[in-house]
Amino acid sequence: MKSFPFRILFLCIFLPPIFYLVTIIILEGYLQQRETSKLNHLIIQDHEALYEGRYTVKEEIKRNLEAYLTQSLIYRLGVSMNILVKTSDDRILYPAQFRNEYSESNTSEGFSTLPTHELHYTEIAVENYEILNKGLLVLLDIQIKHNSWISNSILVLYIFAAALVLQRIIKNRIQEAEKEEEDQKRIIHRLSVELAGAEAKLQDEEDKEKRFKQKIHELNRDKNGLTTDIDELLEEMEKMEKGLEAHMEDKRRTEQEIARLKEEIDLLRDKVQRPNKRKGKTSSFEKRFRILYKNLEFTDRAIEGFTALPDSFQLKAEEIIFRLNENHSMIPVKRKVFGKGGKMNILEVDFSYSGRLYFQKDTQSKTRIMAIGTKNTQNQDLAFLVHE
């Protein structure tokens, strides 16, 4: 895994408490609406007994609400319900311990303040009828207690969901890293096979070279011993020499191909086997270059590109860097490259067959190393130079 998903980890830590609080608020609102509607139909059940005056409205409300709270599941799970029932003229009927001064002073309207056992059934019935006729107002305040069954269950649910998300992301990152490593190994194997084929071809070219040299040697010997057919021998020698030159050219191209394949294999092996050492090397090279080469400036791209090179390529590249520091005019430039704004002010230098170094001469008499890489990274380096 290239990097641990710290952002996802932070989200998985901080989002569950936030979702928990939001869920509690939404759930409280939903329960308040549902329970208010339920209580409006629940507080008065036995209308016939109330109209007969067998007991007061206050007693009916108290009995029904206490029975409901005793049987309520959400109440046992940690939901706190503060219930207030009053008449339309603000006379509090539940809870019974509260008294309303207005209702106590309003005896002229027929509401008796005497205990129930001192009232006649007719008076109680009349009072009950008037209360029910004017209507009852139910006020409910619901709060979900923290550290209760329902609140803890919600929090555990979000924590468990965050853990599953984090586990899934980490698992995917690990699978991607393993797949990339397998791809790198397959590329190394393919290049190794190509390298073996190129080396076999080189051996064949060397064998042909030996045969051509032997043939030329024999012809030269025959030439010295013969006095006739000189023109024919010279023509044959010329053909052999041309064939030797052609095979020498094939040999040179084969050697270059072998060097390129070895470079690619070294780069891939370095990427697979030593990914964690590259950052430390980059910092070390950056410090060393800025101390040794006072006349040069290095971009981060150049330092990273130098670090990614194999050891043999690094030696050749540093030789170019040393010469640029001393006198950039002594460096053979391969071509000019377009930079930002379309100006051809960036120069390209070759090293070690496929190595590439790009530098720029600025206005402060300093040479700036823009990028270092190989033929394999040339497209990325040129894209960087265009936008730099």
pLDDT in tens, 302-347: 999 899 888 889 999 999 999 988 887 778 888 888 766 556 678 8
Q: Are 316 and 355 in contact (CB under 8 A)?
A: yes
User: What is the reported pLDDT for 128?
Assistant: 83
**What residues contact residue 368 under an 8 Å CB cut-off, 6+ apart?**
296, 297, 298, 299, 359, 360, 361, 362
Global pTM reads 0.43
Choose among 73, 56, 76, 53: nearest CA to 64: 56
Tokens of 229: 């057919």
Give the tokens for residue 116: 């129930």
Mean of pLDDT values over 368-383: 88
Return the beta strands (E) in the chain as ranges.
79-87, 92-94, 136-144, 296-298, 335-337, 346-351, 355-361, 367-374
At 357, which amino acid appears? L
232-277 per-position pLDDT tens digit: 667 777 788 787 888 788 877 787 777 667 766 766 666 555 555 5
Residue of 385, 383, 301 lying closest to 343 (CA atoms)? 385
Please report the DSSP string for 324-348 in residue order: HHH-GGGSPP-EEE--GGG---EEE
β-bridge partners, 10: none
Crossing angle of helices 300-308/311-326, nearest 10°? 140
- Give the pLDDT band (50/70/90) at residue 363: low
Question: Quick one: residue 135, left, alpha or beta (phi over 0 = left, psi -120 to 50 = alpha)?
Answer: left
The pLDDT assigned to 102 comes to 34
Confidence of residue 358 (pLDDT cuts 50, 70, 90): very high
**Burial of 82 per CB tally in 10 Å (0-12, 13-18, 19+):** exposed
Q: Which of 269, 263, 388, 252 is nearest to 313 (CA)?
A: 263
